[in-house]
């Protein structure tokens, strides 16, 4: 769940790394479009708990439906797609990623870049805490004549990954997922090749974590929410385990390191901003008005120093790295450790840690109407983090890719009121 800056107008300012990852993702869409001619096989799967390295070890191309949906939202296509899906009987309350994807499918399956997305050769569901994914794949199974493989990932109900949970996932990988990939690809499982890919992943993950943790500086050289969705793009989608990912994160790290040396803040589409407020944000962003949403923060000097959304495809900053010496066990741990697979106490612990380690002024929740895997329990999370850290919490509401649920004036008013509350608390403390 990431961006490729397609929503930005030509005059928008971009970092060099941002242009690099835009090109990478565009190249991937092009390769997907050419798959019927090249003979490449495609596997539909999801971002949380994705098995990219395993797919690449079989020379299979990943297709991520929620990425197609958010990219469509950023390009102004989601309204018509959602309307079409609702005409086909999908409820207004259904996840708008699903309806956008269904509408795109019913419109010829033309992807966000204007190139056709190929039909799946396999539907691979890695279930990591979002029940909607299961229903989504039931819809896809009805639409496509493709085999289905499911990896059931245990929820961290007790807040830890046990040996029995790990063994349960590894057994499924060996007995269900790998045989399905062998059947589709016509190739045998090569654990040595998988280990090589995982070693590359770990190198890229090191640099990503360094970049995210650079926000502990004052001023923060990055925005870890709006800017962060670009940073996570390659590693959360089709590039984990590749040399391209290593090169991208090396470039990004060097770019951010230079900003630290120069004492510069993050780059926004409208230029650099001066940091006045440091926030932690919980919940996904709105994609249909992404730049406008970002501008609301930038105009107030509000920089997001940490966010939960940038952990939806992997919580690397708690120490996890893909381990080439334990390939399948490592994949199992990765799947179980994604943010949406954490229980509520685990999410509270993580957000509280961010508040303290990044010296944030407050926690802001963007409650997304149609995303229950994030929105459930958010008010309780807000109260608990406030009690634990003493920082004020704020609450705004929008949606993923349904423009009907982005009320710009309401969000702006709430954000401004929240930041005024933070400022008043500062003045009270200084008195």
Report yes or no: 93 and 370 within 8 Å, Cβ to Cβ.
yes
- Taken as a whole, the chain contains a residue count of 431
DSSP string, 307-318: ESGGGTT--GGG
Q: Which residues contact 326 (CB under 8 A, 6 or more apart)?
A: none
Q: Please state the domain extents for the chain.
A: 16-430
Q: Say how many CA atoms lie within 13 Å of 177 toward its Cβ.
A: 27
Handedness of CA 343, 344, 349, 354 (dihedral sign): positive
**pTM as predicted:** 0.93
d(CA 139, CA 267): 40
CB 337 within 8 A of CB 161: yes
9's tokens = 């107008």
pLDDT (tens, 9 = 90+) of the chain, 431 residues, equals 555 444 444 455 667 888 898 899 999 999 999 999 999 999 999 998 899 999 999 999 999 999 999 999 999 999 999 999 999 888 888 889 999 999 999 999 999 889 999 999 999 998 776 778 888 888 888 888 899 999 999 988 888 999 999 999 999 999 999 999 999 999 999 999 999 999 999 999 999 999 999 999 999 999 999 999 999 999 998 999 999 999 999 999 999 999 999 999 998 888 888 999 999 999 999 999 999 999 999 999 999 999 999 999 999 999 999 999 999 999 999 999 999 899 999 999 999 999 999 999 999 999 988 887 788 889 999 999 999 999 999 999 999 999 998 999 999 999 999 999 999 988 877 65
Q: How far apart are CA 386 and CA 361, in angstroms?
A: 11
219 prior amide bond cis, ω within 30? yes
Q: Which of 229, 244, 243, 233 is nearest to 308 (CA)?
A: 229
DSSP calls for 258-316: HHHHHT---EETTEE----EEEEEESPPPSTTHHHHHHHHHHTTEEEEEESGGGTT--G
Looking from the CA of 111 toward its CB, the CA atoms found within 13 Å total 22
- With H, G, I as helix, E, B as strand and everything else as coil, classify residue 148: strand
| The token pair that represents 224 in the structure block | 């870890």
d(CA 271, CA 12): 8
């Amino acid at each position: 769940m990431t961006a490729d800056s397609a929503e930005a107008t030509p005059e928008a300012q971009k970092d060099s790394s941002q242009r690099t990852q835009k090109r990478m993702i565009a190249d991937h869409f092009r390769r997907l479009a050419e798959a019927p001619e090249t003979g490449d096989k495609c596997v539909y799967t999801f971002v949380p708990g994705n098995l990219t390295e395993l797919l690449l070890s079989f020379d299979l191309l990943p297709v991520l439906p929620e990425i197609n949906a958010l990219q469509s939202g950023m390009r102004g296509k989601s309204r018509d797609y959602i309307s079409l899906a609702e005409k086909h009987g999908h409820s207004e309350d259904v996840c708008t990623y699903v309806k956008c994807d269904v509408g795109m499918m019913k419109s010829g399956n033309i992807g966000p870049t204007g190139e056709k997305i190929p039909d799946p050769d396999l539907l691979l569901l890695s279930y990591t805490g979002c029940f909607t994914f299961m229903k989504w794949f039931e819809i896809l199974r009805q639409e496509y004549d493709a085999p289905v493989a499911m990896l059931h990932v245990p929820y961290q109900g007790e807040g830890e990954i046990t040996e029995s949970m790990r063994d349960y996932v590894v057994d499924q990988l060996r007995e269900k997922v790998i045989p399905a990939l062998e059947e589709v690809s016509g190739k045998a499982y090569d654990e040595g090749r998988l280990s090589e890919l995982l070693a590359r992943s770990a190198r890229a993950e090191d640099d990503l974590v360094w970049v995210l943790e650079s926000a502990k500086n004052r001023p923060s050289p990055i925005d870890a929410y709006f800017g962060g969705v670009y940073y996570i793009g390659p590693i959360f989608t089709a590039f984990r385990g590749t040399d391209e990912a290593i090169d991208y994160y090396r470039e990004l790290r060097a770019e951010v390191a230079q900003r630290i040396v120069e004492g510069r803040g993050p780059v926004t589409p409208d230029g650099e901003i001066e940091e006045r407020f440091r926030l932690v944000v919980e919940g996904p962003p709105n994609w249909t008005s992404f730049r406008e949403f970002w501008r609301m923060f930038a105009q107030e000097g509000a920089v997001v120093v940490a966010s939960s959304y940038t952990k939806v495809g992997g919580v690397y900053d708690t120490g996890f790295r893909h381990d080439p010496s334990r390939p399948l066990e490592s994949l199992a741990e990765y799947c179980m450790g994604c943010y949406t697979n954490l229980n509520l106490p685990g999410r509270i612990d993580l957000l509280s840690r961010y508040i303290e380690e990044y010296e944030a002024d407050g926690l802001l929740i963007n409650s997304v109407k149609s995303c229950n895997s994030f929105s459930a329990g958010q008010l309780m999370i807000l109260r608990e983090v406030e009690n634990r850290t003493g920082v004020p919490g704020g609450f705004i509401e929008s949606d993923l890719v349904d423009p009907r649920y982005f009320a710009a004036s309401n969000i702006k008013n709430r954000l401004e009121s929240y930041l005024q509350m933070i400022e008043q608390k500062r003045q009270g403390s200084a008195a």
